[in-house]
Chain A
Amino acid sequence: KAGVTQTPRYLIKTRGQQVTLSCSPISGHRSVSWYQQTPGQGLQFLFEYFSETQRNKGNFPGRFSGRQFSNSRSEMNVSTLELGDSALYLCASRIWVGGQETQYFGPGTRLLVL
């Protein structure tokens, strides 16, 4: 099976712009989670989608939003970009097998806001 794919891999934007990131989970996986990773804060949970519904949400401002399509692909959008939004954005598809949860992460999208 192909792994989790994320596009684009690298992105440079300026303050005030908006950005849309895309994530395709492993085939058959219905849960997609998004994380922001920065050196100081580590991995912080943004939100999780399951069957097109947001199931969990982290403590991020409303500028961060997401959605999931019927084929389980997910997008996240950040509007009115700020310098502090520069980070690695990771998505993961999440499954439970035999009572064990596994999250498979994509390679991430590295966003630089100038």
Chain B
Amino acid sequence: KNEVEQSPQNLTAQEGEFITINCSYSVGISALHWLQQHPGGGIVSLFMLSSGKKKHGRLIATINIQEKHSSLHITASHPRDSAVYICAGNSGGSNYKLTFGKGTLLTVNP
């Protein structure tokens, strides 16, 4: 069993819909990363958060350390948001040895 679980594995949405991707972890972590990987492309860091909520444009990430749960929300989704979204937890207060979820493949149709 992976220590970091994402749901759903696959998500298809229509343009404009509100998207939520969930990440639960069983390990004790001090911070969690949300990453975006476009097909055939590199990986971009979206957020690193250890508490509360962060917002960047149409993306919002929340984390509840006590419940060991984080969510990534996309408002007014667009086809260019189609990508794999990956959450990863780091323990010990550093980026050392991140534990990755298996990713959520998001497809936003026009």
Asked whether A and B interact, the reply is: no
Binding site for A on B (CB under 8 A): none
Binding site for B on A (CB under 8 A): none
